[in-house]
Amino acid sequence: MPGNDTSATDPRAPVRLPAALTSMPVQLVLLFVVLAAIDLACQWLGARLVRSADELRSSGAVRALVPGVLVGAGLFALVDAILFALGAVSFGGLGGFAGVGRALATSIAAAVGEEIVFRGVVYRRLEERLGTSVALVVSAAAFGLVHAGNPGASWASTLAIALESGVLLALAYAATRSLWLPIGLHFGWNFTEGGIFGAAVSGGRTSGLISTTLAGPPLITGGAFGPEASLAALAVSLSASIALAWYVVHTGRWRPSRWRLRRAEAADRHS
């Protein structure tokens, strides 16, 4: 009865938090803390290690970011189409909006943070000294190894991430000398995979707008790691990488190492 509730007047009564706060999952709170830390780390790295005048110039942001998002989304939609044709994925209708916000936040954090670190710093600095070929291999391998500790990871998923995302995103940077295209590709792929189709993104479980179920051998479905570890994703990403590599080579953007440049310059002086 209302007359028996003394919590409003009795200072000794325990403080009761709103139900909305007590029901909030601890994982969600931790997610917000982690995302905030990632954002701060990205700003720190961006200010000190990335040449914002080139890699993050605002003048070409929309022109590279929007096509990147659309292409990234299209690439993963193609992966799901292949899995559907193979009978490895089924669609169970609308899954609701419950996990979309989380998928959006994690996709943005991963796309911005990982691209600044792996393409804006690791790949760029390696390329400046050792050339495009070495930078491509080393940065892609590092990107795959970073995901080796994710839930459901295996040697196959680590290799797949290196060959798919590591190679494709490095080539996207090499093609534009800007981070906006790889950020767009990264975000478009991840959000479509998790936020729209509700599949595991690099082992991270989420729920999306469309309810999907994967069934079949891990090499076909990607297993617990998600579709990124599937042969379909590998085939789609490598096809896109081949097209980008052709563009980088034929537009003169494939850079030799410094020692090869010095040898060429020395040969020219003695000729």
Query: Could you tell me the pTM of the whole model?
Result: 0.77
Look up residue 114 and give its two tokens.
């990982």
- Let me know: does 58 contact 176? Beta carbons within 8 Å: no
Task: Provide the 10 A C-beta neighbour count for residue 48.
Answer: 8
Q: Letter for the amino acid at 264?
A: A
What is the rounded CA–CA span in Å between residue 175 and residue 18? 52
Cα distances (Å, whole numbers) of residue 244 to 114, 200, 215, 237 = 20, 27, 32, 11
Q: What is the pLDDT along the chain (271 residues), one digit of tens a residue?
A: 444 444 444 545 544 544 433 443 444 445 545 555 555 555 555 555 555 445 666 667 888 999 999 999 999 999 999 999 999 999 887 877 778 888 999 999 999 999 999 999 899 999 988 999 999 999 999 999 999 999 999 999 999 999 999 999 999 999 999 999 999 999 999 999 999 999 989 988 777 888 889 999 999 999 999 999 999 999 999 999 999 999 999 999 999 877 665 665 565 666 6
Q: Letter for the amino acid at 241?
A: S
What is the rounded CA–CA span in Å between residue 145 and residue 196? 27
What is the rounded CA–CA span in Å between residue 74 and residue 50? 29
